[in-house]
Amino acid sequence: MKVVDVHSFTSVKILKNGIIGIEIFLPNAPPLIVIRGRKGFIMCGYLNINVANKLGLIAARVAGVRSIEEMLNKEVAEVTTKAKEIGIKEGMKVKDVLELI
């Protein structure tokens, strides 16, 4: 196994209160983006909300973003059942969801 410098492949940003944003740079494509909180996460359109729902996770999905900053200002497109239970709704701005995850 070879250890590589991941700085050219990923970006991790501390947002607030232990919430982190992760961008994974992909070849010839927009990055895969996830914002992880203490209770749940917000994912970009690459990831499957139905799988998160089946696993009983607190998750929301946003589509059409190319950066963490862009994701923060986007509206949530889909949420899991557990996310709804804690007050996350479709149409909420991601920056407002941060308080809940």
The CA–CA distances, whole Å, from 14 to 66, 80, 82 equal 17, 24, 24
Residues 76 and 90: beta-carbon distance below 8 Å: yes
Q: Is 100 helix (H, G, I), strand (E, B) or coil?
A: coil
Tokens for 81, please give them: 């059942």
**8 or 41, higher pLDDT:** 41
The residue ranges of every structural domain in the chain are 6-97
CATH superfamily for 6-97 is Hypothetical protein YunC (3.30.1980.10)
pLDDT in tens, 50-77: 999 999 999 999 999 999 999 999 999 9
Look at residue 17 in the predicted model and tell me its pLDDT: 86
Residue whose pair of structure tokens reads 């927009």 in the numeric block? 30
- Strand order of the sheet with strand 19-26? 10-16, 19-26, 29-36, 41-43, 59-61, 78-79
pTM exceeds 0.85 for this model: yes
Tokens for 8, please give them: 């050219």
